[in-house]
């Protein structure tokens, strides 16, 4: 062990002696000249310190020469500059030989010739873009990737020295930075001006917001009928309307307006019908059953009923409920809604200074969530089977009919007349099961003992999501209608789904938070730009008075904006803003936009608008059914335009269209009565598609297309 220690000490001594000799050898290569900032040498300075004082490292030498270290390393090799490696392996340049080289213009320029140039720096110095620089380099046969200063020196009016090039680049960069700063200041200034203009515009729109605190409010009385489905809310409100002798019943659907129209006339009370597409006057009638958008607040009568008041919060149509509630001039208002709408309606009534009296209703027939789920084979009679798409409803119809069940169907794109006939057959017991979308939740009087959820998720126009507790209660509440069935059960098609339904039904639904408002012509007149830009900016500004901002928000204008984009500024000017806004309010959807655009073009040219596309006859399959529904949707647009004063002169064939629409509706009803084969097939290969398949081609065809 002692021998090992002795050997280690000997090695250290030899190594230290060798380092000293190496530093002495390096000192001999350095010469006597010191670096400018090295200070004076002392006789007892270590050799290493003296070497450092008499030489430059690579970085120090590059800084003195005004080039990058990599450039100097390359130049030192090419030009055979004096250099050496110190005992630590660092490259060093003797001061005595390198300093004269670095300060000599010619020698310094030779070193700078190896400097690698960045294309961006060359673009800045030349004042050109990259494309133009690339073109120049190609013409000169110079590689942009390996370009050095000596390759471009003097070309394209560049300086002859690297130092002058650096001065030019600095000046250009400073100018660019100044321009950028100026642009930034200008951008900030423009942004500030835009914000100020937007603030002024918002204030003007707030000033134009409707003043709902009208005269004679103290003489009005709002009765707020609150309760679950099947609690007699509508029955009591209609009795008040009949006693008043004049006024309106306002419904969310034509189907409901038709139902009240029939009921009142059947009781000997004259009632007219007014929807967006149809007006049926009844002689001597002082009561009108209408879809809510058709309400004329200036002729409110003695009593107004606003049904399904939870629609206040509907993003697309809620503005019509807000307008009816806040502008109705009748002495008596009856507003019907679920408990979730109570607080919102009370706040709105207070804002308009309308005295409000809540009337609570208790459910008239018992209802509960079932203990077991059902299958298609075990569904009992008098059941509403709820699915959330037209496709699912029609697939289920075909499956149940194959099982020998008599079926009615109700879904949104089905014409109201057909929905009514289908519902009447179910009510009369001609069919035992009614397959319906959530349209069934809007007050249809169906004598169902059971509401069975086929799905617990729905597509809401943007995303697939689980049902809300309020939806489960509203739709499920159709079970056990008082006077029509004795008990009500809510169930599902599987045990997991039934557990979800039970959980959702037990939850307290969230209260409604916002009512909706839509822009008026006067509002849009204050906003610059095209009609689409005016609508978009109005929605963005959300110009609601501070005291109402917590309960009022803007309507969803996406469909109107899409229609407005189809009109040029010149066309809008020719129509006039009021007529253009009326035109984009038409009841369209994505599939009917092309027909709407054809109608708009003919109106602008002063011609009769085109007739709706002919429906196939007879209806043989699901494709014919869909085409007929599209024809009816286009007919609805035609009839809607014919009911507008601005466009009625272009719709002289309205009687013909109404007759054709009636025939098409009858053909749909007849087709649904037959066991029509409406199975969906792959558009590519014709194979049957699963009932819940969301696409128009099968998985096999999709795989072949993809791979």
User: Does 17 fall in a domain?
Assistant: yes
Spatial separation of the C-alpha atoms in residues 293 and 660, rounded to whole Å: 25
Co-location of 449 and 355 in the same domain: no
Co-location of 238 and 354 in the same domain: yes
Could you give the percent of the chain with pLDDT greater than 70?
A: 91
At 531, the pLDDT band (50, 70, 90 cuts) reads: very high
Angle 495-506/469-476 helices, nearest 10 degrees?
100
**DSSP code at position 53:** H
Number of neighbouring beta carbons within 10 Å of residue 155: 13
- Check residues 88 and 526 and name the one with the higher pLDDT: 526
CA nearest to 580, candidates 604, 559, 556: 604
User: Does 588 fall in a domain?
Assistant: no
Co-location of 26 and 90 in the same domain: yes
User: Does 458 fall in a domain?
Assistant: yes
Give residue 378's pLDDT.
92
Spatial separation of the C-alpha atoms in residues 166 and 378, rounded to whole Å: 88
Co-location of 384 and 456 in the same domain: yes
244 contacts 562 by C-beta, under 8 angstroms? no
Co-location of 346 and 454 in the same domain: no
Co-location of 403 and 382 in the same domain: yes
**DSSP code at position 529:** S
Structure tokens given for 530? 């095209």
Give the containing element (helix H, strand E) for 287. Answer: strand 287-291
User: Does 542 fall in a domain?
Assistant: no
Non-local (6+) Cβ contacts of 678 within 8 A are: 394, 395, 397, 398, 621, 622, 625
Co-location of 336 and 401 in the same domain: no
* Structural domain total, the chain: 3
Tell me which of 112, 139, 160 is where a domain ends.
Answer: 112
User: Does 327 fall in a domain?
Assistant: yes
Q: Which structural domain range is residue 81 located in?
A: 2-112
Q: What is the mean pLDDT of the chain?
A: 85
Distances (CA, A) of 20 to 7, 486, 701: 20, 111, 82
User: Does 447 fall in a domain?
Assistant: yes
User: Does 331 fall in a domain?
Assistant: yes
Tell me which of 308, 342, 361 is where a domain ends.
Answer: 361
Taking only the tens place, the pLDDT of each residue in 29-49 is 888 788 877 767 777 778 888
> What's the length of the chain?
707
Co-location of 283 and 395 in the same domain: no
Give residue 213's pLDDT.
73
Give residue 266's pLDDT.
93
- pLDDT at position 140 over 60: yes
User: Does 517 fall in a domain?
Assistant: no
Co-location of 441 and 469 in the same domain: yes
615 contacts 628 by C-beta, under 8 angstroms? yes
Question: Which of the residue ranges 104-118, 181-195, 349-363, 467-481 has the most confident prediction, judged by mean pLDDT?
Answer: 349-363
DSSP bridge partners of 273: 280, 289
- pLDDT at position 467 over 50: yes
Co-location of 354 and 371 in the same domain: no
- pLDDT at position 6 over 50: no
- Coil vs helix vs strand at 241: helix
Co-location of 355 and 380 in the same domain: no
- pLDDT at position 195 over 70: yes
Give residue 222's pLDDT.
94
- pLDDT at position 169 over 80: no
Question: Which of the residue ranges 100-104, 160-164, 255-259, 502-506 has the most confident prediction, judged by mean pLDDT?
Answer: 502-506
CATH number at residue 495: 3.40.50.300
Report the chain's C-alpha Rg in angstroms: 42
Task: Give buried/exposed letters for 243-271 (b at 16+ CB in 10 A, else e).
Answer: ebebbbbbbbbbbbbbbbbeebbeeebeb
Number of neighbouring beta carbons within 10 Å of residue 486: 11
431 contacts 460 by C-beta, under 8 angstroms? no
Tell me which of 450, 481, 506 is where a domain ends.
Answer: 506
For the entire predicted model, the pTM comes to 0.68
Give residue 16's pLDDT.
55
- pLDDT at position 593 over 60: yes
Taking only the tens place, the pLDDT of each residue in 393-406 is 888 888 898 899 99
- Coil vs helix vs strand at 410: strand
Co-location of 346 and 390 in the same domain: no
């Amino acid at each position: 062990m002692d021998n090992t220690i002795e050997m280690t000490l000997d090695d250290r001594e030899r190594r230290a002696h060798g380092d000293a000799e190496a530093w002495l050898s390096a000192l001999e290569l350095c010469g006597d000249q010191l670096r400018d900032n090295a200070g004076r040498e002392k006789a007892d300075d270590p050799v290493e310190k003296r070497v450092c004082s008499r030489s430059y490292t690579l970085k120090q030498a590059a800084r003195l020469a005004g080039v990058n270290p990599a450039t100097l390393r390359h130049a030192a090799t090419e030009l055979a500059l004096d250099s050496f490696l110190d005992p630590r392996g660092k490259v060093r340049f003797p001061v005595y030989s390198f300093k004269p080289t670095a300060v000599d213009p010619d020698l310094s320029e030779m070193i700078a010739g190896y400097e690698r140039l960045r294309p961006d720096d060359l673009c800045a110095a030349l004042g050109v873009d990259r494309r133009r620089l690339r073109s120049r380099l190609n013409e000169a046969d110079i590689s942009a990737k390996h370009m050095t200063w000596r390759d471009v020196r003097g070309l394209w009016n560049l300086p002859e020295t690297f130092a002058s090039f650096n001065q030019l680049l600095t000046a250009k960069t400073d100018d660019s930075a100044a321009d950028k700063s100026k642009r930034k200041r200008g951008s900030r200034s423009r942004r500030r001006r835009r914000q100020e203009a937007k603030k002024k515009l918002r204030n003007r729109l707030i000033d134009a917001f409707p003043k709902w605190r009208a005269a004679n409010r103290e003489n009005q009385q709002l009765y707020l009928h609150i309760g679950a489905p099947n609690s007699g809310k509508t029955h009591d409100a209609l009795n008040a309307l009949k006693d008043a002798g004049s006024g309106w019943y306002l419904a969310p659907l034509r189907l409901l307006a038709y139902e009240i129209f029939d009921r009142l006339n059947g009781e000997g009370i004259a009632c007219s019908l007014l929807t967006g597409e149809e007006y049926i006057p009844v002689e001597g009638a002082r009561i009108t059953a209408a879809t809510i958008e058709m309400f004329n607040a200036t002729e409110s009568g003695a009593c107004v009923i606003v049904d399904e008041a939870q629609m206040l919060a509907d993003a697309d149509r809620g503005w019509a409920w807000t307008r009816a509630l806040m502008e109705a001039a009748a002495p008596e208002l009856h507003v019907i809604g679920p408990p979730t709408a109570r607080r919102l309606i009370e706040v709105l009534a207070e804002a308009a200074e309308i005295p409000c009296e809540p009337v609570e209703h208790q459910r008239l027939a018992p209802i509960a969530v079932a203990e077991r789920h059902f299958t298609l084979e075990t569904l009992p009679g008098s059941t509403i089977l709820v699915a959330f798409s037209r496709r699912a409803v029609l697939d289920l119809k075909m499956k149940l009919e194959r099982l020998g069940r008599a079926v009615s169907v109700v879904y949104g794109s089905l014409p109201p007349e057909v929905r009514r006939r289908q519902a009447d057959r179910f009510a009369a017991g001609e069919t035992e099961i009614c397959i319906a979308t959530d349209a069934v939740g809007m007050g249809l009087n169906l004598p169902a003992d059971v509401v069975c959820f086929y799905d617990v998720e729905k597509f809401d126009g943007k995303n697939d999501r689980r049902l809300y507790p309020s939806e489960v209660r509203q739709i499920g509440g159709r079970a056990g209608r008082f006077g029509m069935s004795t008990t009500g059960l809510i169930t599902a098609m599987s045990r997991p789904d039934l557990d979800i339904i039970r959980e959702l039904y037990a939850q307290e639904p969230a209260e409604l938070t916002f009512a909706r408002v839509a822009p008026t012509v006067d509002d849009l007149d204050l906003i610059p730009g095209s009609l689409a830009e005016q609508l978009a900016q109005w929605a963005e500004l959300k110009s609601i008075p501070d005291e109402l901002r917590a309960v009022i928000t803007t309507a969803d204008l996406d469909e109107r904006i899409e229609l407005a984009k189809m009109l040029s500024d010149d066309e809008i000017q020719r129509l006039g803003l009021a007529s253009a806004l009326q035109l984009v309010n038409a009841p369209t959807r994505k599939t009917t936009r092309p027909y709407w655009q054809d109608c708009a073009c003919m109106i602008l040219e002063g011609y009769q608008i085109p007739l709706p596309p002919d429906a196939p006859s007879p209806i043989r399959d699901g494709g014919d059914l869909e085409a007929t529904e599209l024809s009816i949707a286009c007919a609805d647009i035609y009839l809607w335009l014919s009911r507008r004063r601005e466009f009625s002169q272009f719709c002289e064939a309205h009687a013909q269209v109404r007759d054709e629409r009636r025939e098409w509706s009858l053909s749909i009803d007849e087709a649904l009565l037959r066991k029509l084969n409406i199975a969906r097939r792959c558009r590519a290969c014709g194979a049957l598609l699963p009932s819940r398949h969301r696409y128009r081609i099968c998985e096999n065809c999709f795989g072949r297309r993809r791979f």
